[in-house]
Amino acid sequence: MRVNRDADVIVVGGGTAGAIAAIAAARNGARTLLIDKHGFLGGTATAGNVFHGFFDCRGNQVVKGIGEELVRRMIAEEGSPGHLLGGKWGHDVPEYFVYSQTPYDLETFKYVIMRMVDEAGARMMLHTFFASALCADQTVTGVEVHNKSGRSAWKAKVVVDCSGDADVAASAGASYEFGRGDGKAQNVTLLFTLGGVDFDRIVEYSRAHVRVRTWGEWHSRLMKAPKLGESQPSYVSMSGKIIIDDDLEKGTELSCGFRSLRPGELRLNVTRTTGIDGTKAEDLTRAEIEERKKVFEVAKALRRLVPGFEKSFLAGTATEVGVRESRRIIGDYVLSTEDVLEGRDFEDSVCRGAYPVDIHDPEGGHVTHTFVKDGLSYGIPYRCFLPRGLENILVGGRCISTSHVAHGSTRQMPTCVAMGQAVGTAAALAARERTTPRALDVELLRSTLVKQGACV
Ligand SMILES: Cc1cc2nc3c(=O)[nH]c(=O)nc-3n(C[C@H](O)[C@H](O)[C@H](O)COP(=O)(O)OP(=O)(O)OC[C@H]3O[C@@H](n4cnc5c(N)ncnc54)[C@H](O)[C@@H]3O)c2cc1C
């Protein structure tokens, strides 16, 4: 097999964390290769989400740097209204806690993120599936991949695993935990889009009527902003619990998030499938089958029952079912539940998180939110990105070293973006300084990140 040796840094997974990691590595002088199984970049961030967690619940911005640049580029392309603050979390949270979100158009995201990677000078190898880690004496030396051209090997000084599932680290023999430790992980969801909706009417009706009740027990979040191509603000987001209450669907409860940046369109996060291991092809296949069926059922029920949806139609589904949680590596440090909920700081903190712990019940119940103390943020130590016992590999994104509960916060997209900048920069510095990521001077990493606009 041909062995390619022209990269300093290889990033596996060009999703939420990985695309940013590639930008950071290339900007810091590393010859960078970014590998992804899809033909586009952005991963789960292209499924139809909104950014949760650029700000803490006091309104302090905790993710800046390349993440902020990404948002500004999307605003310039008229694909995002920017950060929205001022929403209310709900009745059981102190008054001063604000809910913030950053909506964006997913096609703009795909375009901008690819431009930024390209402009940074990182090389992309898309339509390429990671196959196995090249590893000798606990040291990762590269990756083997599969694509249309066949099988090939790629060597690098540092490999960054941003696959979401820690595929590279697991293949190299890293220890990891799965889900909450009893074989069950947060449930999975296929996000979908309805066209032909009247969102303002849906919100007003939901507030006023009981047959489809929203603003239920767990939270209520409403945001307004101008939609794409419009100048007047209208509803772009609502979340709550709908209880579908008619003869056919009696008592069916749905925790849901509705998002809308395009006029007449709504992206929905409603359906749930439990018992899925996102690292197993057979489970993922079952999830796709079950979720597609549920999406059709929910779309039909909403059309039949809720004013504002009468003329709606299924306009699209995400590229693949969204996996919230699978493997989490055991790193040199495991970020604990208390670290997150107490808002702790660390000497080697290289990025920050602030979003409440957001857990979609592995048993299929509702979503719970547990807040960081006083609505502030916590630091994420560099050690959480270093798989214990392995050299020359960093892990970023939702599969870093945390407890199951802490992961409920760190998995949010802005936090993954901030991790991407941290691990990409660390990989480039390690390659430049001819050292390993573990031996890298953390003060050099922190000062470089701060100089480059990140919050540590
Ligand atoms: C349904 C759902 C809704 C969510 N809603 C929100 C929300 O509203 N707001 C929010 O902030 N967060 C939300 N999240 C959480 C957030 O989207 C994810 O946790 C985050 O995007 C994960 O980033 P990541 O970089 O770790 O993984 P991903 O963004 O998934 O990136 C992983 C990348 O690796 C690639 N890849 C994986 N395996 C391989 C392989 N073997 N070979 C090659 N490439 C590979 C994938 O194609 C992908 O591009 C949601 C998550 C889900 C699942």
95 inside domain: no
456 inside domain: no
From the CA of 396, give the closest atom in ligand 1: 26
Give the pLDDT confidence score for residue 1 in this predicted structure: 82
Same domain, 249 and 377: no
Question: How far apart are the CA of 398 and the centre of ligand 1, in A?
Answer: 7
Pairing of the two strands 32-35 and 123-125: parallel
Question: How far apart are the CA of 413 and the centre of ligand 1, in A?
Answer: 8
Question: How far apart are the CA of 324 and the centre of ligand 1, in A?
Answer: 8
The 10s digit of each residue's pLDDT in 365-404 is 778 889 999 999 999 999 999 999 999 999 999 999 999 9
Nearest of 350, 344, 364, 362 to residue 408 by alpha carbon: 362
Same domain, 162 and 63: yes
Question: How far apart are the CA of 43 and the centre of ligand 1, in A?
Answer: 5
* Mean pLDDT confidence for 174-193: 95
Angle between helices 442-451 and 413-432 (to 10 degrees): 120
What is the enclosing helix (H) or strand (E) of 134? strand 129-136
Confidence of residue 6 (pLDDT cuts 50, 70, 90): confident
* Mean pLDDT confidence for 214-238: 81
Question: How far apart are the CA of 397 and the centre of ligand 1, in A?
Answer: 8
Question: How far apart are the CA of 117 and the centre of ligand 1, in A?
Answer: 18
At residue 230, does pLDDT exceed 90? yes
Question: How far apart are the CA of 162 and the centre of ligand 1, in A?
Answer: 9
97 inside domain: no
Question: How far apart are the CA of 363 and the centre of ligand 1, in A?
Answer: 21
Distance of CA 189 to the CA centre of its chain: 13
Same domain, 306 and 446: no
Position with higher pLDDT, 441 vs 368: 441
Distance of CA 264 to the CA centre of its chain: 26
CATH number, domain with residue 46: 3.50.50.60
Same domain, 295 and 379: no
Rounded to the nearest integer, the mean pLDDT of the chain is 93
99 inside domain: no
Distance of CA 310 to the CA centre of its chain: 32
> Read out DSSP for 83-129?
-EEEEE--TTS-TTPEEEEB---HHHHHHHHHHHHHHHT-EEE-S-E
To test ligand 1's pocket by mutation, which of 16, 38, 152, 394 has the most ligand atoms within 8 angstroms of CB? 16
Around ligand 1, the residues with Cβ closer than 6 Å are 12-18, 35-38, 43-45, 49-53, 129-130, 162-165, 167, 189, 191, 269, 322-324, 397-398, 411-413, 416
State phi, psi for 296 to the nearest 5 degrees: -65, -40
At residue 214, does pLDDT exceed 90? no
CB neighbourhood size of 257 (10 A)? 21
Distance of CA 203 to the CA centre of its chain: 27
Same domain, 313 and 332: no
Report how far residue 100's alpha carbon sits from residue 83's, in angstroms, rounded to the nearest whole number: 7
To test ligand 1's pocket by mutation, which of 33, 36, 44 has the most ligand atoms within 8 angstroms of CB? 44
73 inside domain: yes
Q: Hey, which of 136-150, 219-233, 294-308 has the most confident mean pLDDT?
A: 136-150
Give the pLDDT confidence score for residue 86 in this predicted structure: 82
Same domain, 264 and 157: no
The 10s digit of each residue's pLDDT in 39-49 is 999 999 999 89
Report how far residue 213's alpha carbon sits from residue 254's, in angstroms, rounded to the nearest whole number: 10
Kindly report the protein residue whose alpha carbon is nearest to atom 35 of ligand 1.
Answer: 13
163 inside domain: yes
Kindly report the protein residue whose alpha carbon is nearest to atom 53 of ligand 1.
Answer: 322
Give the pLDDT confidence score for residue 218 in this predicted structure: 47
Query: Which of 7-11, 58-62, 254-258, 447-451 is predicted with the least confidence, judged by mean pLDDT?
Result: 254-258
Same domain, 261 and 341: no
Pairing of the two strands 192-195 and 313-317: antiparallel
Same domain, 150 and 197: no
Confidence of residue 312 (pLDDT cuts 50, 70, 90): very high
96 inside domain: no
* Mean pLDDT confidence for 177-189: 94
Length, in residues, of the chain: 456
Contacts of 232 (CB under 8 A, 6+ apart): 226
390 inside domain: yes
Give the pLDDT confidence score for residue 124 in this predicted structure: 98
From the CA of 324, give the closest atom in ligand 1: 53
Distance of CA 134 to the CA centre of its chain: 27
Kindly report the protein residue whose alpha carbon is nearest to atom 34 of ligand 1.
Answer: 13
* Euclidean distance between the first and the last CA atom of the chain, given in angstroms as a whole number: 42
User: What's 264's DSSP letter?
Assistant: T
Same domain, 8 and 123: yes
Confidence of residue 250 (pLDDT cuts 50, 70, 90): low
Domain boundary among 251, 282, 317: 317
From the CA of 398, give the closest atom in ligand 1: 26
At residue 131, does pLDDT exceed 90? yes
Look up the domain containing 235 and give its range. 192-317
Same domain, 202 and 310: yes
Same domain, 308 and 263: yes
From the CA of 52, give the closest atom in ligand 1: 11
Question: How far apart are the CA of 263 and the centre of ligand 1, in A?
Answer: 26
The domain tally of the chain equals: 2
Domain boundary among 285, 317, 349: 317
- The answer to whether residues 369 and 426 touch, using CB atoms and an 8 Å cutoff, is no
Report how far residue 140's alpha carbon sits from residue 138's, in angstroms, rounded to the nearest whole number: 7
Same domain, 287 and 212: yes
